Amino acid sequence: MSYDKELTAAKKAVSLAASLCQKVQKELSQSDVQSKSDKSPVTVADYGSQAIVRFVLERELSDEPLSLVAEEDTEKLRKDSGEDALQRITKLVNETISNDGSYITSPLSTEDILTAIDSGKSKGGSLGRQWVLDPVDGTKGFIRGDQYAVALALLDNGKVVLGVLACPNLPLALASITGNAPSENAVGCLFYATVGSGTSMQSLDGSSPVKVHVSDIGNAEDASFFESYEKAHSMRDLTSSIARKLGVKAPPVRMDSQAKYGALSRGDGAIYMRLHDKPYTEKIWDHAAGCIIVTEAGGLVTDAAGQPLDFSKGRYLDVVSGIIATNEKLMPSLLKAVRESLEEKDSSS
């Protein structure tokens, strides 16, 4: 099964969404940020990105039914207090489409934008094709001016078959990735993978892609590990105890969003740990794209008990104690260290 057409559509959708996000991040004002009912932040970029991804997928894949599982909904935007934000989102989406120039369309109305955002309500599951979108992953990082990602994946009968991840603030770093070597400060990466075809990375402004691979380090002493920037999203006492057991010498690299999966896929570090304290239900859009980008680059992504992630259960992931990712050589010792540290924690509480 080839997913060429879907990949072209997904790369286009995510690239346009990323350019909308970059524009917003540059000139972010307080009125661009709202708080959701779970107290987590959402910005006009999260909404605009979701609307534009839907718009591009519909245009590019007009002969396919589109089922979309996406993070944002329009509850806040439909209230009187959301009117200014809705106007701003509509303007941003129309400007982004018209600056790109690929699509001839009369300007989208506020109602078109609400409909596009609300199209992300699919329940997911194991039947047929489901697109999975995190329009801005790492919204807190986005607001802080740090790392964030636009993450889009495709499920086919419950399995992730395609993933595209834009990381607008991630350094291109691998100086060899473009024919014309980017300057050391150049940022903006687009990672993508389809099942069985490996993972590629190119610059967001359109260099030729290169294949990327996870680190082949087999000795954890030489490895470094990624974890969330936000303290509340992973248990740091546990990750540091695991790192100690493994003999990892380097300090943790803390980064927002699925940019961690992108960085892992090209071997910037060798391990990613995300371990939960309180019960926390992971969402499929926080991991689907990142997961295939790492596995197609030769890595493994599992829950803390070593089970592969199951994206076929609906909008949520049923994971035990958290998520870990690394290469094949390090996985057995990582799993052992995770198990021992979890047991020690349980026996001391």
Ligand X SMILES: Nc1ncnc2c1ncn2[C@@H]1O[C@H](COP(=O)(O)OS(=O)(=O)O)[C@@H](OP(=O)(O)O)[C@H]1O
The residues that touch ligand X, with contacts defined as CB under 6 A, are: 40, 71, 134, 136-141, 228-230, 232-233, 256-257, 280, 283, 286
Closest approach of Cβ 320 to ligand X, in Å?
Answer: 14
Select the residue interacting with Mg ion from 6, 134, 227, 256 (CB under 5 A).
134
CB of 75 to ligand X, least distance (A): 15
Write the CB contacts of 50 (distance below 8 Å, at least 6 apart in sequence): 17, 70, 71, 72, 116, 117, 120, 133, 135
32 interface partner picked from Mg ion, ligand X, none, CB below 5 to 8 A per type: none
Among 112, 118, 256, 286, binds Mg ion (CB under 5 A): 286
- Secondary structure letter of residue 184 according to DSSP: T
Task: Confirm if 18 and 189 have CB atoms less than 8 A apart.
Answer: no
Q: Residue 103 binds which entry of ligand X, Mg ion, none, with Cβ cut-offs from 5 to 8 Å by kind?
A: none
Dump strand ranges (E) for the chain. Answer: 33-35, 41-43, 68-70, 129-137, 149-156, 159-171, 187-194, 199-203, 210-212, 225-228, 253-255, 271-275, 299-303, 322-327
**Of ligand X, Mg ion, none, which one does residue 72 interact with (CB within 5 to 8 Å by kind)?**
none
Minimum distance between the CB of residue 285 and ligand X, rounded to whole angstroms? 7
Cβ nearer to ligand X, comparing 112 with 137? 137
Which tokens in the block code for residue 133?
Answer: 């979108």
User: For the purposes of burial, counting CB atoms within 10 Å of the CB of 251, is it exposed (0-12), middle (13-18) or buried (19 or more)?
Assistant: exposed
Q: Least Å distance between CB 172 and ligand X?
A: 21
Tell me if 137 contacts Mg ion by CB under 5 A: yes
Only segment of 16-24, 70-78, 178-186, 294-302 that touches Mg ion (CB under 5 A): 70-78
Rounded-to-integer distance, Cα 56 and Cα 20, Å: 13
256 binds, among Mg ion, ligand X, none (CB under 5 to 8 A by kind): ligand X
Yes or no: say if 325 and 239 are a contact pair by the CB < 8 Å rule. no
Q: From the CB of 167, what's the least distance to Mg ion, in Å?
A: 13
Q: What is the CA radius of gyration of the chain?
A: 20
Give min distance, CB of 136 to Mg ion, in A.
Answer: 5
Nearer to Mg ion by Cβ, of 146 and 197: the residue is 146
**What is the spatial distance between Cα 316 and Cα 310, in angstroms, rounded to a whole number?**
9
318-347: contacts with Mg ion (CB under 5 A): none
Residue with smaller CB distance to ligand X, 209 or 314? 314
Residue 151 φ/ψ region, left for φ over 0, alpha for ψ in the -120 to 50 degree band, beta for the rest: beta
Choose from Mg ion, ligand X, none: what does 74 bind? Cβ within 5-8 Å by kind. none
If you count them, how many residues does the chain have? 349
CA 43 – CA 32 distance, rounded (Å): 5
Catalogue the active-site residues. Answer: 46, 139
Q: Of Mg ion, ligand X, none, which one sits near residue 229, judging by CB under 5 to 8 A according to partner kind?
A: ligand X
DSSP state of 232: G
- Taking CB positions, which residue lies at the least distance from Mg ion? 137
| Closest separation in Å from C-beta 35 to ligand X | 12
Given the complex with ligand X, which of 6 and 134 has the nearer CB atom?
Answer: 134
Cβ contact 24:48 at 8 Å = yes
The dihedral built from the CA positions of residue 31, 37, 43 and 47, taken in this order, carries a sign that is negative
Q: Binders of Mg ion among 1-40, rule CB under 5 A?
A: 40
CA distance 200 to 190: 8
327 binds, among ligand X, Mg ion, none (CB under 5 to 8 A by kind): none
- Compare residues 134 and 268 and give the one whose CB is closer to Mg ion: 134
Closest residue by beta carbon to ligand X: 256
Interface with Mg ion (CB under 5 A): 40, 71, 134, 136-137, 139, 286
